[in-house]
Every structure is written in C-alpha cells, then in structure tokens.
Amino acid sequence: MSRFDVEVRIKPRPGLLDPQGKAVHHALESLGYDGVSEAKVGRLIALTVEAGSESDARDRVEEMCRKLLANPVTEDFSLRITEAPTATDGDG
C-alpha cells in the first residue's frame, strides 16, 4: 500500500449561475483589476488516501466525488494526485 495526496477541485458547472464568483469578479473590478473576464468560486478538498496504486486511488476518490464530495447537478470535479512522502520518523 502507498499513500497518495489527492486534491479534489470542485467547481460550479459551466453556464451555471455562480453568485459568489460574480461577487468576487465585481470586487476585483472595483479594485481596478481589469482584464479578468471571469471568476468562479469552488472548493478544494485535500485527502490522503491509502491505495495499491495511483489508479486505484483515483478510482476510489472519483467514486467518493460522485457519492458525496460533488453534486453532479451543479458541480464538476477534477483530481490532482501525488504520491505522499513515506513516513520516515519511525512512528510505527
């Protein structure tokens, strides 16, 4: 078993009204930052997962996303997976 750090990025689906993103965009404009054509606000969920391989970790987290972490009606998700550094401090 290896440990993987998985970042789950959840974003409002394209075309969906995102009032938070709109408010952030508006605030950026008021601060004088022009050239920002869009802002979307989502969530980042950081998991540490034990799995036999990277693809196992991906399969399991994708299932978690479909079941709980993202709402398929309103949100899209993407994953970024990296192998976690092995613990070397002899705590086990």
- Applying CB under 8 A, which residues contact other proteins? 16-17, 19-20, 23, 68-69, 71, 73-74
From the CB of 73, what's the least distance to other proteins, in Å?
4
Provide the residue type at 83 as one letter.
E
Beta carbon nearer to other proteins, 22 or 58? 22
- Per DSSP, 59 falls in state H
Q: Counting every residue, how long is the chain?
A: 92
- What number of other Cβ atoms are within 10 A of residue 47's Cβ? 16
From the CB of 83, what's the least distance to other proteins, in Å?
26
Beta carbon nearer to other proteins, 46 or 73? 73
Q: What tokens does 79 get?
A: 């994953």
